[in-house]
Structure 1
Amino acid sequence: MAAILREIKNQIHGELIQRLDLKRMTVSRIGTNELQQKARETIRSIIAEVRRNQKLPAGIDPARLEKEIYDEAMRLGPLEDFLADEAITEIMVNGPGQVFVERNGRIELTGQTFMDDESVLGVIERIVAPIGRRIDESQPYVDARLPDGSRVNAIISPLSLIGPCITIRKFSKRALTVDDFIAFGTWTRSAAEFLRLCVIMRKNIVVAGGTGSGKTTLLNVLSGFIPPTDRIVTIEDAAELRLVQPHVIRLEARPPNIEGRGAITIRDLVRNALRMRPDRIIVGECRGGESLDMLQAMNTGHDGSLTTVHANSPRDVISRLETMVLMSGLELPSRAIREQIASAIDLVVHESRLSDGSRKVTCISEVVGLEGLQIVMQDLFEFKQTGVDEKGKVLGSFMPTGAVPTFFEHIKSRGLHLDPAIFDPSKQGGDA
């Protein structure tokens, strides 16, 4: 049945391309309402002809067939349904024959496929062309975003040996909240209240974690604690943060043009942001030399700034930052780099994607200072896994370690209230 359906779809798709001359048409022309309406009418007409000349097999819905062909020719093909499904957070196209999705934290192979490499390339072109990006043999990979903010990476031959590949990290239609995180088990109410006060007190915070752990989402929630009176500058490779405060300037890096010129990097934007009188700077992710500029900003009056770093543990953040500072091109001694880190960063919040697909804050650590050549950290809260239930759900508790932050007295001196019992393991019930 699947082979017959594929053959019929190929037949109708080929006829549609020929009648509307789609291969010679620009992406901007394909996007016009007039052509889209004409395409729908043409597909309907071709399906009617097929039904007259060769009866459609039982079980094939003409309306569904029309939609699938239209999506593949004019939109994003079989990806359209996945983009509309709110339970799906990531879409992975491995050549024309495989489409995987992450649904509720689990990766699964779908039954959807593309007709051929050209169909996948067409989808990629429809994604990148409207935002002025390109992909071809001389530039065989590209980062882009969809109109709803979803992040897209595409890579083609000769770099991809299995055909064109697309990875889409979907942008949630609704920004998650503190209460959402509590309901999901991402963190506890005590931890959330502690971090809220830390943001209000202008502590510099680094959110760390691996790929797909939810760093940007957590960064967005933490940014929501910033008072509405602050002037905030956000800097990202691809704009994802959704701050609701009234005084926010959003900056986005720019890749090079076709001639390889005109690139504006995260580092360029961090330096420019310092001239924009920001109260706080939020960098979507530090991954290179901009780490030095970010640390210097945190050390020179821009307290309360936030960023994310790809790292496997809070202590790994320190070594990652040291390496990235060296990528700035300045040959600084190790002690000078560590002094910058120790004086700039107050907290590291580490998030992980667990084996059951859930995302949890697994550690909140304070950077205490520098002793000799070593940066001293203390864990304030940590998630301790106790097992896995019969359905594969990870069991455990997010608990205080017993350590009290060195700035606890400052919380009281600022007129803020935080119950010291939240740092006492014996007074906490634990949250799975």
Structure 2
Amino acid sequence: MCSAAVVTGQRKLDESELVAIREEFYEHPGPAVPAELVDELLSRRLPLLSGEDRREVLQQLLDDLEGLGGVSELLRDPTVTDVLINGPGVVWIERNGELQQSHVWLGEQEVKALIERSVGASGRRVDRAQPIADAWWIDGSRVCVVLGPIARHGPCVSIRKLAASSLPLSAFCEPQTCVLLKQLVEQRKNLLVFGSTGSGKTTLLNALLQCCPASERIVTIEDTAELRLPGRHWVALDAREDNSEGIGAIDLSDLVRTSLRMRPDRLVIGEVRGAECLDLLWALSTGHSGSMSSCHASDVRGALARLETYTLLANSGLPLSAIRRQIVAAIDVFVGVERGWRGARRVSSITRVGLSTDGEYLLSSWSPNVVPVPLDDQPSVAEV
């Protein structure tokens, strides 16, 4: 992917020299780590290269051999959360919550190589017959690829980086609200985090899970691996799509049912978005307390409507009244998160849901300005 020669402080490196190093790398059968191997090849091919020039060329070669080219530099930048490629041309990024153009420009062949690397690393396929693919890398970054003619201006690649480190709960709310949320976790309440796209639902889930006792066995279930609990008694289960022959799919419902046989202290579904909702509600209402999930919605009533719809997708035959009772029995507290000015994420609401005698939802919200932080088993709420 090094489509041009590299200019250093001492000399201009020929494209032929870079090509020769790449070709020798691909032919090398040894088990060496790529960085070590490329460094060795560079020493033999360009022995006079040293200092900053050598480091620059080595990094470019590594990026090129990984198939990511100039995008690698953006992925290493801790201030960048999203990398957006809208066909050949300039690469856009989200940095500190704001979209902006980067200094990286990709040609048609570079975009093609990036797509092959992105999808191939996850064992997925993308072509004209199947022009849309979701994948993720070993570091947890999530990738969405859309090919033309679906993408009118050329193939698009959207990369959502996994945060290098987890945010603490205090990054989302005021101290008094933090105390309440920690109490809810300690009291083993079942929590559902809701918010819009990019609001920080998974990041907040991760922060809440950090409040769990270290001895607890946490089983997470995700479509895309985003949760990270290093140092914990953590079992991570990931769904899998079918292969090119149409077999081998493992969906979230399969994993929820399997997880119940794995002795979880807490069960966590990264995001509920389909028929697995019914399996989750059954699990939470039959003794698996302290569990968590998230849902795409802009407010509590939107989250409730989503849960109803997802449960109906399971074709269980349950009437709406029974589904509502199941939701209220399974989920103790709904936690809203939103994205504010300059990309800041914050907890926007903490709500409990009940049912009236005629089967309508009753919402009760906690506010630090109205009710003191509860110290008993049940959180105090102010009726809204």
TM-score bin (small chain): 0.7 to 0.9
Taking every aligned residue pair, what percent have the same amino acid on both sides?
37
Counterpart in the other structure of 1:286: 272
SS at match of 2:281: helix
Give the distance between the partners of 2:149 and 2:17, measured in 1 at CA: 30
Q: Which residue of 2 aligns with 1:102?
A: 94
**8 A Cα contact 1:203 1:346, kept in partner:** yes
Question: Contact 1:29–1:35 at 8 Å: present in 2 too?
Answer: no
| Alignment partner, residue 170 of structure 1 | 161
The whole-number CA distance in structure 2 between the counterparts of 1:294 and 1:217 is: 20
Secondary structure of the residue aligned to 2:334 is strand
Q: Give the aligned residue type for 1:195.
A: L
Tell me what 1:127 maps to. Answer: 118
Aligned to 1:221: 207
1:281 aligns to what SS in structure 2?
strand
- Which residue of 1 is the match for residue 317 of structure 2? 331
2:218 to 232, 236, 241: 232
Contact 1:346–1:366 (8 Å) recurs in 2: yes
User: For 1:237-269, what per-residue CA distance to the aligned partner results, in whole angstroms no more than 9, with x for missing partners?
Assistant: 122212246432111111211212101111110
For structure 2, the 5+ residue unaligned runs are 7-12
Matched, 1:410 2:377: yes
Q: Secondary structure at the match of 2:273?
A: coil
What letter matches 1:164 in structure 2? P
| Bigger RCO (CA 8 Å, 6+ sep) | 2
Instruction: Answer with 319-328 or 136-145: which moved more.
Output: 136-145
Structure number with the higher helix fraction is 1
Q: Check conservation: 2:82, 2:95, Cα contact below 8 A.
A: yes
Query: What per-residue deviation string (whole Å, max 9, x for no partner) do you get for residues 296-329 of structure 1?
Result: 1110010111000000112211001111111112
**Structure 1: gaps of 5 or more residues:** 49-60, 382-398, 412-417, 425-432
Instruction: Give the drift of 1:112.
Output: 1.2
Picking from 186, 192, 202, the partner of 1:206 is 192
* Secondary structure of residue in 1 paired with 2:377: helix
SS of 1:410's equivalent? coil
1:3-42 equivalence runs, <5 A: 16-17=18-19, 32=34, 36-37=38-39, 40=42
User: 8 Å contact 1:206–1:309 — kept in the other structure?
Assistant: yes
| Cα deviation digits, residues 33-88 of structure 1 (max 9, x gap) | 6874577579969xx9xxxxxxxxxxxx9769846853663231111111111111
* Counterpart for residue 332 of structure 2: 346
Report deviation, 1:331.
2.9
1-structure distance, mates of 2:231, 2:109: 44
Report the AA paired with residue 147 of structure 1.
I
Q: After the TM superposition, which of the residue ranges 135-144 and 316-325 deviates more from structure 2?
A: 135-144
Pairs aligned (count)? 372
CA RMSD for the aligned pairs? 3.4
Which residue of the partner structure matches residue 144 of structure 1?
135
Alpha-carbon separation, structure 2, partners of 1:218 and 1:349: 9
Per the alignment, do residues 160 and 44 of structure 1 end up closer, same or farther by CA in structure 2, a change over 3 Å counting?
A: farther
Residues 38/131 of structure 1: CA separation in 2 closer, same or farther (3 Å cut): farther
Aligned twin of 2:10: none
Contact 1:30-1:74 at 8 Å conserved across structures: no
CA contact (8 A) 1:253 1:264 kept: yes
1:361-380 correspondence runs (5 A): 361-380=347-366
Q: How does 1:185-334 map to 2 (within 5 A)?
A: 186-244=172-230, 246-334=232-320
